[in-house]
Amino acid sequence: MIEDKFIPLRSVLERLMIPISVLAIVSLVAEYGFYLSPRMELFVHRLDVIIIWYFVIQALVKILFATNRLTYLKGHWFDYLLVLLVIAETALFIRVTGLKLFGSFLGEKEIIQITKIYIVAFQVSIILSLFSEGLSLNRKIATFHLHPSQVLLGSFLIIIIIGSALLSMPRAVMPGKSLSFLGALFTATSATCVTGLIVVDTGHHFSLMGQLIILMLIQIGGLGLMTYASFFALILRRNISLREKSMLRDMLNYENLGLISKVLASTVLFTFVLEILGALLLFWGMSGEPVSLGRHIYTSIFHSISAFCNAGFSLYSDSFMQYKSNYLVMLTISGLIIVGGLGFPVLVNLMSLRLSSAPGSGRWLKVQSRLVLRITGILLLVGFLFFLFAENNNTLLGLSWSEKLLNAFFQSVTTRTAGFNTVDIGLISIPTVLLFLVLMFIGASPGSTGGGIKTTTIGVLFAGVGSIIRGRKRIEIYKKNIPFAVLNRALVIILYSLSFVFLTTLVLSLTENLPFIDILFETFSAFGTVGLSRGITPLLSDAGKMMIILTMFFGRLGALTISLAITAPKEVYHYEYPPENVMVG
For residue 177, being part of any structural domain is answered with no
- Reduce the DSSP state of residue 206 to 3 states and report it: strand
Longest dimension (CA), the chain: 91
Last residue of a domain, one of 75, 100, 134: 134
CA 519, distance to chain mean position in Å, is 26
Look at the chain and report how many structural domains it folds into: 2
Q: Which residue has the higher pLDDT, 478 or 330?
A: 330
Task: Lowest mean pLDDT of 9-13, 50-54, 347-351, name the range.
Answer: 9-13
- Number of C-alpha atoms within 13 angstroms, CB side, residue 553? 22
Mean pLDDT for 354-364 is 49
- What value does the mean pLDDT take over residues 45-73? 79
Q: Which of 182-191, 214-223, 495-504 has the lowest mean pLDDT?
A: 214-223
% the chain with pLDDT above 90: 42
More confident position, 57 or 148: 57
Q: What is the mean pLDDT of residues 515-530?
A: 95
Final residue before a domain boundary, out of 83, 106, 134: 134
The confidence band for 113, taking pLDDT boundaries of 50, 70 and 90, is very low
Q: What is the mean pLDDT of residues 535-559?
A: 92
Whether 310 is covered by a domain: the verdict is no
Please check whether residue 232 lies inside any domain of the structure. no
The answer to whether position 436 is within a domain reads yes
Looking at residue 572, its pLDDT comes to: 56
pLDDT value for 234: 62
Residues 6+ apart with CB under 8 A from 428: 391, 394, 395, 436
pLDDT at 15 over 80: no
Residue 521 in contact with residue 433, Cβ under 8 Å?
yes
Q: What is the pLDDT of residues 365-383, one digit of tens each?
A: 888 889 999 999 999 999 9
DSSP element (H, E) containing 477: strand 475-477
> Does 142 have pLDDT greater than 70?
no
**Relative orientation angle of helices 327-342 and 367-390, to the nearest 10 degrees:** 140
Under a CB-based contact definition with an 8 Å cutoff, are residues 318 and 426 in contact? no
User: What's the domain range around 55?
Assistant: 1-134
Confidence of residue 208 (pLDDT cuts 50, 70, 90): very high
13 within domain boundaries: yes
| CA nearest neighbour of 327 among 299, 296, 286 | 286
Residue 265 has pLDDT above 90, yes or no: no
- Per cent of the chain over pLDDT 70 is 77
Q: How confident is the model at residue 275 (pLDDT cuts 50, 70, 90)?
A: very high
* pLDDT confidence of residue 39: 83
pLDDT at 240 over 60: yes
- In a domain, residue 59? The reply is yes
Which CA distances in Å does 505 have to 293, 515, 519, 544, 548? 45, 12, 7, 10, 10
SS3 content of the chain, % helix, strand, coil (to 5): 70, 0, 30
Which residue type occupies 87? I
The last residue of a domain, from among 102, 134, 166: 134
**Average of per-residue pLDDT values in the chain:** 82
In this structure, what are the phi and psi dihedrals at residue 67, rounded to the nearest 5 degrees?
-65, -50
Helix (H) or strand (E) holding 117: helix 116-134
Question: What's the pLDDT at 237?
Answer: 56
Does residue 298 lie within any of the structural domains?
no
More confident residue, 307 or 57: 307
Element (H, E) at 1: none
Write the pLDDT tens digit of every residue in 470-489.
Answer: 877 788 888 888 888 888 88
- Is 460 within a domain? yes
H-state helical runs in 193-326: 202-205, 208-223, 225-235, 242-252, 260-285, 293-308
Give residue 358's pLDDT: 46
